[in-house]
């Protein structure tokens, strides 16, 4: 591996915003959320940065594939302080920032891009 570089893990807020009956997803995300801080120590000598993005509900075709009805989407949106889903572009911009040279001194950090919904609002 060459010196320098960056990786951004996309974890999601599922490990902090729990839903009854959905145990496996939050457990998996919880385990993954421990990875950046561990990888930082391993990869810092190579000047390789490791960060994470925790996106909230994002309006993607997955909602259609999962068969989430509009009433379900309305219920989801009502729990988000901005009362809307993130766009795919918004989520991608967070990842792009952390991977860019503009974040060259940021490592071992996570950005939660969830319009405040993990604050218990």
What pLDDT tens digit does each residue of the chain (121 aa) get? 567 899 999 887 766 656 667 677 777 777 787 888 889 999 999 999 999 998 888 888 888 888 889 998 899 898 888 889 999 899 899 999 999 999 999 999 988 887 887 765 4
**Which residue from 113, 67, 120 is spatially nearest to 93, judged by alpha carbons?**
113
50: part of which helix (H) or strand (E)? Answer: strand 48-55
| pLDDT value for 115 | 82
- Encoding tokens for residue 50? 């490791």
Burial of 121 (0-12, 13-18, 19+ CB in 10 A): exposed
* CA atoms of 95 and 54, how far apart (whole Å): 10
| pLDDT value for 23 | 75
């Amino acid at each position: 591996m060459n010196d320098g570089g960056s990786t951004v893990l996309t974890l999601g807020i599922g490990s902090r915003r729990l839903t009854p009956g959905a145990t496996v997803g939050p457990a998996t995300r919880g385990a993954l959320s421990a990875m950046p801080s561990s990888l930082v120590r391993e990869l810092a000598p190579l000047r390789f940065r490791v960060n994470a993005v925790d996106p909230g509900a994002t309006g993607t075709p997955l909602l259609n594939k999962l068969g989430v009805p509009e009433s379900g989407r309305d219920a989801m949106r009502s729990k988000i302080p901005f009362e809307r889903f993130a766009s795919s572009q918004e989520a991608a911009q967070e990842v792009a920032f952390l991977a860019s040279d503009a974040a060259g001194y940021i490592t071992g950090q996570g950005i939660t891009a969830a319009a405040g919904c993990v604050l218990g609002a």
